[in-house]
Amino acid sequence: MKIKIVFSDIDGTILNKRHQPSPKTVETIQRLCQQGRPFVLVSARMPRGIYTVQRQLGITQPIVAYSGGLILDEKGEPLLSLGFCPSKALLIKSYVDTQGACCSVYTGDQWLVDDQSDPWIRQEMHITQVTPEEGRMDDLLKGVQVVHKLLLMDEAPRIEALEQDLKRRFEGLRIYRSKATYLEVMDESASKSGAVKELCRIKGIPVEQSVSFGDHFNDMDMLAATGMGFAMANAPKQVREAASHVAKSNEEDGVARAICALMGWQDTRG
């Protein structure tokens, strides 16, 4: 198979447990891009959180934010934007607040929160190296045209219950867990697979010549959409079983090692 473009999730995929890409991963991705093969980060993160990782990798490529809700080109210009209205976001958040979960709102490259001191918010700030805007949510959303994502954070059993609850209460949404303690809420039209197909179309690359990597449930549609889809060894069993291929874990340079094998490069990993 001739690889022309690679799509990859970030957390649990190209980043290790210290939230860093290994030197081997950086070297391999840079080599791929230098050969004219784009390496596109596809994440539930906001753009700023993705650009942090791009800088670590030393690359400039298009990005897919909000799990397909927003595609930006190499210059940061929007290619696709999918979301829902602020009034719907406030309605959902009001209900989530009654359930005691932490809920924040994302629009464009803005992260909006009620309380920066919330432990869940502090944790996400540490992971993404992004500082949110704080205030009353209805004030923060004045003038906003589209909301790309709500992020709910709580202990795993409560998140699992909230997922089912919100699916029963609200229509027109894509709701899924990006990890055990995180629940993502987006417009139903947004998906990683849709973004992958759209970028391939824009670049004139057959989707059959694309490869993707991911480690969680929100990656499954992307893994199925590309010519080859690699679930990470650290992915849940259901994700691994659904993927066409399984790569080594994120702690073992799984993405880099798979790319080296596909490209016929010697794996110099020590």
Q: Which residues are annotated as catalytic? A: 9
**Phi and psi dihedrals of 133, rounded to 5?**
-90, 135
User: Is residue 44 within 8 Å of 10, Cβ to Cβ?
Assistant: no
The number of CA neighbours under 13 Å toward the Cβ of 12 is: 20
Torsion over CA: 26, 28, 34, 40 (sign): negative
Could you identify the residue written with the tokens 């949510």? 137
C-alpha 68/C-alpha 62 separation (Å) is 12
Cβ proximity of 22 and 103 under 8 Å: no
